[in-house]
Structure 1
């Protein structure tokens, strides 16, 4: 299992689709709850990132996860495999949060289609990318990971959200969920739900702005506490 977060990885975020950053491996940020759902398909281009000043430096990433790397005077860095994920139609293994008996959850058009559905990237949320999950064995090739928002429950009933770290298998083809960061339970009647407004990976932690049941917002932080990758709030 991968359990230690790799230090030194800082993920910068923005609410504005298409804004760019000079930091490589830049991801997106969750859109406000209730915003129109957007496609996370990698086929939709976003705004280009600024090019590097070095003659052969790798291209930087856009804050939009769908954006292709911009060209530089040297060869462009190949887009990471995790960024190629078609999230609305992804197959994610070990995602126990969704309550399925199968080993994997298959999303179609953003939902697993059950009576109590699990939806991925609801409300126009976007994935965040960073190399923040430790590879095992230690000499395994480093790969980028993703942090995605998932919601369990019907829109008109009790629902719960979770942030799900997703990593590639060693063959680079399958996507596995790591231990999730749970949002608060909804109100007993289901009319009030805690939502993740934004989230990011900074150094060895996950930081998020959440809207609580009473409508107020606060910033929360989590870090891993063991080799299994479980999280604690601090």
Structure 2
């Protein structure tokens, strides 16, 4: 399967349904980790960053060369939990963007180590934190979720990026992914890749500046399409 990805990647995302009713979780503003509210530093990217929407400054991750190099996160509602994740070495279940067959993807030093690798937070990207995933089950211990950038493919071949929502498992220890927001299919050339230049949470929605296949930039927005965590662009 992985050999075919050198010329194009087309992976779907599936999600196992829970047995308890879903509960909408409220999103919130976020600032860079280690900073006080209102002290957001400009991104290192030369690409434009979406403007804030509503009070406060939603989380943002900036990038150059199509991979965010700095990120933001919000004030923790609970110490620990999802923010304690060692993302470069995380094990994430249901991350089918990286693999259609494996139940879990194990990262080591930011990569799953395959010939056609899946990399988490490439280019020094940072996770964005907030309460934005449909909670399942309703008594899950997590009060905060993460949005992380993942890239599938070799740097000199066809690549595809996705924004992946990640939530703690109901035991508070495991991490599992929800349906991803996938970038466009890559073009025929190695440099024809849609990349997420910046991304942030605006309430329960996701907003991103993307670099398109032709090198231009545009703002895209997604909101939840259903209680299973699928996303719809609007």
TM tier relative to shorter chain: 0.7 to 0.9
The TM-score, its normalising length taken from structure 1, stands at 0.74
* Rg (Cα) greater in structure: 1
Tell me the SS of whatever aligns to 2:29.
coil
Aligned twin of 2:65: 34
Unmatched segments (≥5 aa) in structure 1: 41-62, 70-76
Number of residue equivalences: 198
What TM-score, normalized by structure 2, do the two folds share? 0.74
CA contact (8 A) 2:82 2:142 kept: no
1:191–1:78 distance in 2 versus 1, CA, 3 Å: closer
> Are residues 84 and 38 of structure 1, via their aligned partners in 2, closer, same or farther at CA, if it must alter by over 3 Å?
farther
TM-superposition CA deviations, 1:92-118 (whole Å, max 9, x none):
000000025220000000000000000
Instruction: From the superposition, tell whether residues 216 and 38 of structure 1 become closer, same or farther in structure 2 (CA, over 3 Å).
Output: closer
Alignment of 1:142-157 (within 5 A): 142-157=142-157
Aligned to 1:168: 168
The SS at the match of 1:113 is coil
C-alpha spacing 1:129/1:118, structure 2 compared with 1 (3 Å): same
Show the 5 A alignment for 1:1-234.
1=17, 5-7=24-26, 9-12=27-30, 19-21=35-37, 29-34=60-65, 63=72, 78-99=78-99, 101-234=101-234
- In structure 2, relative to structure 1, the CA distance for the partners of 1:151 and 1:144 (3 Å cut) is same
Deviations 1:21-71 (A, max 9, x none): 269xx985323133898799xxxxxxxxxxxxxxxxxxxxxx468x9x8xx
Contact 1:81–1:172, Cα closer than 8 Å, also in 2: yes
How far off is 1:5 after superposition?
Answer: 4.3
Contact 2:69 2:123 in 1 (8 A): yes
Give distance in 1, aligned partners of 2:231 and 2:170. Answer: 23
Deviation at 1:13, TM superposition (A): 5.1
Task: State the SS of the aligned residue for 1:82.
Answer: helix
